[in-house]
Amino acid sequence: MTPTTRGFREMKSVVVRFAGDSGDGMQIVGERFTDTSVTVPNAIATFPDYPSEIRAPIGTIAGVSAFQVHFGSLTVLTPGDEPDALVVMNPAALAVHLYDLVEGGLLIVNAAAFTRENLEMANFMTNPLEDPAVLKKYEVIAIDITGLTLEALKDSPLPHREKLRAKNFFALGFTYWVYSRPLEPTIDYINSKWAAKAPDLAAANIRVLKAGYFLGETTETTRNRYMVARAEIEPGTYRKISGNEAIALGLIAGAKKAGRALLFSGYPITPATAILETLASYQHFGVKTVQAEDEIAAIGVALGASFAGQIGVTATSGPGMCLKSEFIGLAVSAELPLVVVNVQRGGPSTGLPTKTEQSDLLQALFGRHGESPVPVVAANSPSDGFRAAFEAVRIALEYSTPVILLSDGYLANGSEPWKLPDVASLPEISAPFADPSKPYVAYARNPATGVRIQAIPGQIGLEHCLGGLEKDLHGTISYDPENHSEMTRLRAAKVAGVANSIPPLRVIGEHTGKVLVLGWGGTHGAITSAVEALQAEGHAVTSTNLRYLNPLPPDLGALLKGFDKVLIPELNSGQLCMLIRARFLIDAVSLPKIKGRPFKISEIRTRILQLLND
């Protein structure tokens, strides 16, 4: 239990979760809390958790929307395990989220919403705010947020309905007081958003925000408040970025570096849609976007653009990947550049559209008919989407191949501060077209890399036909058995050769020891947090995160041999683990999780400790 003493209690990091009805504006207050905290500055990571129903009936459990923010004075790599504070706007939000709140955690509730009707909708027989067990377990602050909001706005000309909608800012203001955050960034935000268009609304929101803050100051004078000191953050210019935005920017950056125009075609699908939406606002960068009629068309349009000499990209999520697989096979056969982004979500089938999972790894590697190898890369944090997408574009163009970029719902919607890269530090991407002054052989290869050189429509004298039928060196259709065997080998060798262009593994810890924690994609934050904490406690544990899933890094085999045990946490049933066991003949240990949610640091920590103590 947190002792209730006057003054501030210093915390290294705090996790706050805002939860309410999907119409309660929880995403907005979460975003505001984040933007305010980055100005402190604190290290930060966020994760929104919203229902797949756009507007489920008000007050129901299906309609609960939440936003979690983790801020700290040290490194923050995940949105946090359990919240230290939970702000809930109605009983349904309490019902969904209370089990996550740490014992002794702060529970701020809008008491006005705990009516009999709302309690029934959340399946409460009695009011949990009157339950002695709840009051004992948590530090409950019940506030009539609705009433106080209306009171603060009694002189506002806004209609009653609009006044009620401002109550999220009351909750935000009070939370700012608890965590001693400045109000100015939010006031600036409100003014920039509404002052010109709707001055009464701007004034009302500011008034309510302040009322929430002042409530703390005037009535909660004996309450403990919390301080999170400034974080030691690497100097530089930062912005906040989500995984989907980072991927969009990385694609543009890769295309720019390569001197190719970017054509992106997608079909809306959760949680990948924001990539299409983001890129659609970059027309002045020469980006063209096509919202296609379906997933198949989206990849077809992208492949057509690549054939015409641009870099075609499409993005989707699990079910969409199934639909795209035939076209990926064509891109493998035609040996054309293409980037396919899969923002993974829970499956199979429609599965859990708004929840995260890493269960499409083996699909990415093997989910096509025939021998059809493609390079696979993965983003490991929201901002890392930029580098990962840039790298996908580089490999696609330099190796004239489709590339699958794996992200996931957790990375896509989560956001974190991103230190802007130095443009000069981005690698060059070189993929020249064929030389029209020389005879063109459609499937002739660069002897060093095995890469087919692309000629594009409009180039004089290089006319040729590409297609999905097996062909010989000249692009002529061939059913010759030896030729098919050789072409299969050449395509595989080209993709395997991508390994020559990738940097050494980034290893956190010693290169030998008792336990190696091997991860890929979005588990990076939780694994690193767990491993660094154990290292600080003196344990012989090391971790690394795979950017490249195909081909695997050339130095991975040696690293695996340096450890007694290899632990592979994944948000699937052990797909990478199966791959590592098969490729390296080691007894790797899987830590699977398939709950639609990311790993908690504690889950990984517990399993590592078990292995260390075995």
Chain residues 495-524 in contact with other proteins, contact rule CB under 8 A: none
Q: With binding defined as CB under 8 A, does residue 466 bind other proteins?
A: yes
Query: Is 430 within 8 Å of 270 (Cβ atoms)?
Result: no
CA nearest neighbour of 44 among 260, 221, 233: 233
By CB under 8 A, what part of segment 1-40 binds other proteins? Answer: 35, 38-39
- Residue number with CB closer to other proteins (427 or 467): 467
Q: With binding defined as CB under 8 A, does residue 305 bind other proteins?
A: yes
- Residue number with CB closer to other proteins (132 or 432): 432
How does DSSP assign 41-84, residue by residue? T-EEEEEEE--SSSSPPTTSGGGEEEEEEEEESS---SS-SS-S
For the range 221-225, what are the long-range contacts, defined as Cβ-Cβ under 8 Å and sequence gap of 24 or more? 221/6, 222/4, 222/6, 223/4, 223/141, 223/178, 224/2, 224/3, 224/4, 224/5, 224/6, 224/7, 224/8, 224/9, 225/7, 225/8, 225/9, 225/177, 225/178, 225/179, 225/180
Query: Is 173 within 8 Å of 211 (Cβ atoms)?
Result: yes
Count of Cβ atoms closer than 10 Å to residue 157 Cβ:
10
CA nearest neighbour of 391 among 507, 254, 299: 254
Q: With binding defined as CB under 8 A, does residue 123 bind other proteins?
A: no
Q: With binding defined as CB under 8 A, does residue 462 bind other proteins?
A: yes
Of residues 137, 193, 464, 581, which one binds other proteins by CB under 8 A? 464
Q: With binding defined as CB under 8 A, does residue 218 bind other proteins?
A: no
By CB under 8 A, what part of segment 315-374 binds other proteins? Answer: 326-327, 330, 334
Question: Do the strands 13-21 and 85-88 form a parallel or antiparallel pair, or are they unpaired?
Answer: parallel
DSSP state of 260: -
- Residue number with CB closer to other proteins (152 or 241): 241
Q: With binding defined as CB under 8 A, does residue 443 bind other proteins?
A: no
Whole-angstrom Cα distance, residue 429 to residue 250? 13
Q: How many residues make contact with other proteins (CB under 8 A)?
A: 76
Q: With binding defined as CB under 8 A, does residue 233 bind other proteins?
A: yes
Q: With binding defined as CB under 8 A, does residue 301 bind other proteins?
A: yes
What CA–CA distances, in Å, run from 311 to 336, 398, 421, 495? 10, 11, 22, 18
Work out how close the CB of 340 gets to other proteins at its nearest, in angstroms, rounded to a whole number: 14
- Residue number with CB closer to other proteins (23 or 309): 309
Work out how close the CB of 213 gets to other proteins at its nearest, in angstroms, rounded to a whole number: 22
Which structure tokens are listed for 443? 């499937």
Work out how close the CB of 289 gets to other proteins at its nearest, in angstroms, rounded to a whole number: 8
- Residue number with CB closer to other proteins (326 or 510): 326
User: Per-residue contact track with other proteins, 271 to 290, x per CB under 8 A?
Assistant: -----------xxxxx-x-x
Q: With binding defined as CB under 8 A, does residue 229 bind other proteins?
A: no
Query: Is 497 within 8 Å of 547 (Cβ atoms)?
Result: no
Work out how close the CB of 76 gets to other proteins at its nearest, in angstroms, rounded to a whole number: 14
Q: With binding defined as CB under 8 A, does residue 210 bind other proteins?
A: no
By CB under 8 A, what part of segment 383-442 binds other proteins? Answer: 420-421, 423, 432-433, 435-437
Work out how close the CB of 239 gets to other proteins at its nearest, in angstroms, rounded to a whole number: 5
- Residue number with CB closer to other proteins (253 or 364): 253
Question: Do the strands 64-72 and 13-21 form a parallel or antiparallel pair, or are they unpaired?
Answer: antiparallel
Q: With binding defined as CB under 8 A, does residue 477 bind other proteins?
A: yes
Q: With binding defined as CB under 8 A, does residue 304 bind other proteins?
A: yes
